[in-house]
Structure 1
Amino acid sequence: MRSIFRSIDYQEFVANSVMQASFNWGKLSPDYRLCQTGTQQSPIALSLGNGLSLNHVPKFNYNGSVAGNFANWGYGPAFTVAHNGDWTSHPSFTYDNETLYLKGWHIHAPADHSVGGDRSKAEMHFVHVDAEGHEGAVLAFRLDPGNFNNTFFDQLPPMIGFDEMQTQEPVDLDLSLALESVLHFNEFWTYQGSLTSPPCHEGIRWFVARQIMFTGVEQMQAILGASTYSARAEQEVWQHRINE
């Protein structure tokens, strides 16, 4: 996972295009130390051998259209929910009696997480924060091309490319259409992990849908055309507590 709403330092990091050197992030800055030394770093490889989670089942409060800005985060398409200073007014989900609020989403290509050794063409991350705005959980949607257009991506304007990175296009999205595409996470893996880009903060609860979110061929071509490589190298499983 990454946040598209970070500091100038992070924007400089993006501009330097060091995503592909993720094995060495911890040496780039003292602030990125966890990238090298953390015990719950993301992403990790998943498989049906891990089983599927029966715990931490998410319950969603995603109703109606949500206003925000569509942009390119420097590696691909992204959306920021319009913020009025009150995170609790955002779409939310609850697990284990904890409620977290959507900050926005962004796409990595290829996918961060592999499942059974297969890495999807892209992965969309719905980043959620607590009431104070601290990142706490990510819903991960693996994206692959299918035979029909996806109604969620049908809502988007034309993809914003790298030459238009300063562009932010206001748009209203029905985010529940994404949840419908993966059956509202009725089957999922979950684990305690981290951001998948510097500063690699840990304590992030990941939910990775088992169902693939299929797009149309042209939709996937548009996503990939607006994206560049942004998958972090998979991390060794250590203290991640998969499905626990």
Structure 2
Amino acid sequence: MFFRPFIVAAAALVFSTSACPEHKYTSGPRLQGRQTITDPGANSTQNDWAYEASYNWHRVSSEYYRCQNGTQQSPIALSLGNGLALNHVPKFNYNGSIAGDFYNWGYGPAFTVKHDGNWTSHPSFTYDDMTVYLKGWHVHAPADHSVGGDRSKAELHLVHVDASGHEAAVMAIRLDPGNFDSAFITQLPAMIGFNDMGTIHPINIDFTAALESVQHFNEFWTYQGSLTSPPCHEGIRWFVARQIMFTGVEQMQQILGASTYSARAEQEVWQHRINE
């Protein structure tokens, strides 16, 4: 595990929802059904950086220096030559249906868990002696991580924070088209386009199908990494599932149609401690 500014309502509590770009999402009173924010000033996506020029981010702002000189920058290329992780095995506490808001974070589909001020009330997983709590998810297209030189059509990032709300871990699931619809994607309403960031849809999601599609991360790579866009903060524990979540062809077309290019150039492995 993130951001573009994302402001949904004037009087709501603002917090970061993704461990990749720092977009801001406003969690306020629950909206009934699909709603479009018509105030053109209520939502903006003005960034001084672009994914297409990720090699140059440190020249854009001095605040992005870590993008250039960091020792654990994400994403990185992975392969079976790295082996698979035997340590940091995650144990999930995702029970039942989870309420939140579905929207587009300017690059693709996204979801934020309804927040009541207590992060520890969110779905969670534990690895080693650390428990982290689900903040939300978003999609990158194409995938951030390549495996064996292959980059999937998209990648789903489940972003988790510590009890204080700081990004701590990301569960990454690669997405590719297959012969049957994904039960997880089937739960979602109609995709919201990247030009419709003012539209949100309160929904409930059951994550069981997502976890089952990758066998609850029983095979995975893990490493110490960073946010995948400015300011590229490090200290993020990444888990990348070996298995792929397959979608239907039309499902993938809808995901890609709602997305724009959002994959950072892969970084050289340095102090990432892959699978250690």
TM-score (norm 1): 0.96
**Alignment-derived partner of residue 204 in structure 1:** 236
| Bigger share in helix | 1
- In the alignment, the residues of structure 1 paired with residue 46 and residue 105 of structure 2 have an alpha-carbon distance, to the nearest angstrom, of 12
**Alignment-derived partner of residue 188 in structure 2:** 156
Q: CA contact under 8 A between 2:160 and 2:170: conserved in structure 1? A: yes
**Alignment-derived partner of residue 56 in structure 1:** 88
**Alignment-derived partner of residue 115 in structure 1:** 147
Question: Which amino acid in structure 2 is aligned with residue 204 of structure 1?
Answer: I
**Alignment-derived partner of residue 36 in structure 2:** none
- In the alignment, the residues of structure 1 paired with residue 49 and residue 100 of structure 2 have an alpha-carbon distance, to the nearest angstrom, of 26
- SS at structure 2 position matched to 1:103: strand
Shift of 1:176: 2.1
Question: Which amino acid in structure 1 is aligned with residue 58 of structure 2?
Answer: G
Question: Which amino acid in structure 2 is aligned with residue 165 of structure 1?
Answer: M
- In the alignment, the residues of structure 2 paired with residue 11 and residue 92 of structure 1 have an alpha-carbon distance, to the nearest angstrom, of 30
**Alignment-derived partner of residue 190 in structure 1:** 222
- SS at structure 2 position matched to 1:177: helix
User: After superposition, where does 1:26-175 map in structure 2 within 5 Å?
Assistant: 26-175=58-207
- In the alignment, the residues of structure 1 paired with residue 212 and residue 3 of structure 2 have an alpha-carbon distance, to the nearest angstrom, of 24
- In the alignment, the residues of structure 1 paired with residue 84 and residue 114 of structure 2 have an alpha-carbon distance, to the nearest angstrom, of 34
Matched, 1:2 2:11: no
**Alignment-derived partner of residue 233 in structure 1:** 265
- In the alignment, the residues of structure 1 paired with residue 23 and residue 257 of structure 2 have an alpha-carbon distance, to the nearest angstrom, of 26
Q: CA contact under 8 A between 2:194 and 2:260: conserved in structure 1? A: no
- In the alignment, the residues of structure 2 paired with residue 11 and residue 204 of structure 1 have an alpha-carbon distance, to the nearest angstrom, of 24
Question: Which amino acid in structure 1 is aligned with residue 244 of structure 2?
Answer: I
Structure 1 runs (4+) deviating above 6 angstroms are: none
Matched, 1:220 2:252: yes
- In the alignment, the residues of structure 1 paired with residue 210 and residue 229 of structure 2 have an alpha-carbon distance, to the nearest angstrom, of 23
Q: CA contact under 8 A between 1:120 and 1:143: conserved in structure 2? A: yes
**Alignment-derived partner of residue 12 in structure 1:** 46
Question: Which amino acid in structure 2 is aligned with residue 2 of structure 1?
Answer: F
Matched, 1:177 2:209: yes
- In the alignment, the residues of structure 2 paired with residue 3 and residue 154 of structure 1 have an alpha-carbon distance, to the nearest angstrom, of 27
Shift of 1:175: 1.4
- SS at structure 1 position matched to 2:87: coil
Q: CA contact under 8 A between 2:3 and 2:23: conserved in structure 1? A: no
More moved, 93-102 vs 160-169: 160-169
**Alignment-derived partner of residue 21 in structure 1:** 53
- In the alignment, the residues of structure 2 paired with residue 133 and residue 30 of structure 1 have an alpha-carbon distance, to the nearest angstrom, of 25
- In the alignment, the residues of structure 2 paired with residue 130 and residue 150 of structure 1 have an alpha-carbon distance, to the nearest angstrom, of 30
Which structure has the greater CA radius of gyration?
A: 2
Shift of 1:168: 1.1
- In the alignment, the residues of structure 2 paired with residue 233 and residue 186 of structure 1 have an alpha-carbon distance, to the nearest angstrom, of 27
- In the alignment, the residues of structure 2 paired with residue 66 and residue 183 of structure 1 have an alpha-carbon distance, to the nearest angstrom, of 20
- SS at structure 2 position matched to 1:164: coil
Unaligned runs of 5+ in 2: 5-15, 17-21, 25-43
More moved, 74-83 vs 23-32: 23-32
Q: Percent identity?
A: 75
Cα 1:174–1:7 change in 2 (3 A) is closer
Question: Which amino acid in structure 2 is aligned with residue 208 of structure 1?
Answer: V
How far does the alpha carbon of each residue in 1:80-134 deviate from its partner, in whole angstroms, 9 at most, with x for none? Answer: 0010000000000000110000000000000000000000000000000000000
Shift of 1:7: 6.1
Q: How many residues align?
A: 241
- SS at structure 2 position matched to 1:163: coil
Q: CA contact under 8 A between 1:3 and 1:127: conserved in structure 2? A: no
Unaligned runs of 5+ in 1: none
- In the alignment, the residues of structure 1 paired with residue 275 and residue 114 of structure 2 have an alpha-carbon distance, to the nearest angstrom, of 32
- SS at structure 1 position matched to 2:255: helix
- In the alignment, the residues of structure 2 paired with residue 162 and residue 121 of structure 1 have an alpha-carbon distance, to the nearest angstrom, of 17
